[in-house]
Structure 1
Amino acid sequence: MENERKMMIFCLLLAALCSPVLTGEWTATVPKNLDALVTSCVVIPCSFTQAKERLPHSRLRGIWHRPASRDDCIYHEDKTQIVENFRGRTELLGNLGDGNCTLLMTEIKDHDDGPFCFRIELVPTGTETSKIEKFSFVNDCVRFKMITEPPKPTLIHLKTAVQGRSYTITCSVRHTCPSHVPKLTWSRGTADDINELHREIHGGFWEVQSTLIVIPEEKDDHTDITCTAKFNGLRTSTEKMTLYIKRKENYNHIIIPAVVGIGTAVIFGGLCIFMMKKYKNRIAELQNQEGSMWNRLSRLSRRRV
């Protein structure tokens, strides 16, 4: 029991010694690789931990640069420090005081492949004369996989729609720029027929999803429905599907002939009954007439005798 207690204390001390906060170590987390659509934009998720006390945003300066040279800045709060190729194309989205160093890069060019690294600097207060502390995270940088064609949307739907019943089609597309979400549009339907969802799949990759609900009619059979994805930078891609309509089950082909048959039988039966009654009445009349004549002849014969 005593040995177990000592082992637990040892593990706690080891964890405390290895903790970046307690050891005064600054750390940053960025994705290693991201897809980048040329002419569009990319958001680089970035977070960092501060050593010791938590400093406000005003005491921190975030810089993004290439690892080969810390002066090769792609983002700096002093715009004159940014290399000309990236001026006006980068923006820090996160609040440094919250440990958020997320960067937006727009108008992606085919040579913006990186790597790009984050650096944090501690800005001294007005009373401090010490040198600016700098922490670069050159072992945690991001590279871009350059994509020249926008990804095509993916459509999910049942193979066959039923006439007059609700039919759902889901269109989705992945991207890496949540600050400028791709716009999904449909070739039919109204805003009331469409639901949208935007979610993060994993670090730096997002998905926008649009669900269309239609009530197909017989005339919609073999017609196309198209989903269009419009990305930042006016790049578009499309995907379409063909509606196959299963008509409602009806029994007219059985009911109508049956009704006609029953109607014909009723009419024919009624006619037969009418003819039978008429025939019987005629026989009765003839029998009555014959009886009357016989009676008259009988009376006449008796009178002559």
Structure 2
Amino acid sequence: MNEKCERNFQNEWLWTSLIISVIMPGSVLAGDWVVHVPVKPILAPHGSSVMIPCTYDFPDESGSCQVQSEMWCLNQSRCITPTYVYHSDNIFPEPAYQGRVQYLGSLGSKNCSVRISNLRMKDSGVYVFRFITNHPVSKLPEQKGVTLQVTDPPVNTFVRVTSLGHCSRCPVPPPPPQK
């Protein structure tokens, strides 16, 4: 009786897995080539820090694919650029970002979040993340990226409250000029 129950459970699990894989292809049995970043632009004031949240996935049916490098670039949908905002191999770093970029993931962790500190107006643009694997056939398609808009810092307004005084001789403003 126990063996029959176990066989029924295995059959139900097999059918459920098959149905799920047909209804939602790639979401259970294999990942897609995808990078998840915010859809809406990120607004941050000049001089502040910003964290750009990012995760990624890729198909690995055999379980043997490895991420070889990860990179962030500015205004390049394929990240083919002479300089990078961040590159896991520390190649061709953009001098303007040195000491201001902190990569929050680690190679192959599928966390590609990045923090940029001491924001400058020139940091505004579309940030694109790419990764390279040893997958024999497929590659990550072109990415839209996430827009960062560095804004002017907020203006501090000072309001001084004074008590109203009473004067016996208050000056009267001159009359407006005649036309």
User: Which residue does 2:58 correspond to in 1?
Assistant: 50
Cα shift readout 1:121-172 (whole Å, capped 9, x = no counterpart): 12x5xxxxx9897525513x11112222248xxxxxxxxxxxxxxxxxxxxx
Cα separation, partners in 2 of 1:11 and 1:149, compared to 1, 3 Å? same
Q: Give the C-alpha shift of residue 91 in structure 1.
A: 2.0
Structure 2-normalised TM-score? 0.60
2: CA distance, partners of 1:92 / 1:9: 37
Q: Secondary structure at the match of 1:107?
A: coil
Residue deviations 1:218-237 (CA, integer Å, cap 9, x gap)? xxxxxxxxxxxxxxxxxxx6
Give the distance between the partners of 2:95 and 2:137, measured in 1 at CA.
25
- Aligned partner of 1:108 in structure 2 is 119
Q: Which has the higher helix share?
A: 1
1:149 matches 2:168: no
Q: CA RMSD in A?
A: 3.7
Greater length-normalized contact order (CA 8 Å, ≥ 6 residues apart):
2
Matched, 1:77 2:88: yes
Mapped to 1, the partners of 2:158 and 2:52 lie a distance apart of 28
**Structure 1 segment 127-206 matched on structure 2, within 5 A:** 134-139=139-144, 141-150=145-154
| Deviant stretches of 4+, over 6 Å | 130-133, 237-240
How many residue pairs match? The answer is: 140
1:102: Cα distance to partner? 0.4
Decide which structure has greater strand share: 1
Residue identity (%): 24
TM-score by length of 1: 0.38
Partner of residue 65, structure 1: 73
Larger Rg computed on CA atoms: 1
> Do the aligned partners of residues 147 and 100 (structure 1) sit closer, same or farther apart at CA in structure 2, a change above 3 Å counting?
same
Which stretches in structure 2 are left out of the alignment for 5+ residues?
1-15, 160-179
- Distance verdict in 2 for CA 1:77–1:25, change over 3 Å: same
Shift of 1:88: 2.8
| C-alpha contact (below 8 Å) 2:21/2:27 kept by paired residues | no
Q: Residue 35 of structure 2 corresponds to which residue in structure 1?
A: 28
The one-letter code sitting in structure 1 at the alignment partner of 2:101 is: T
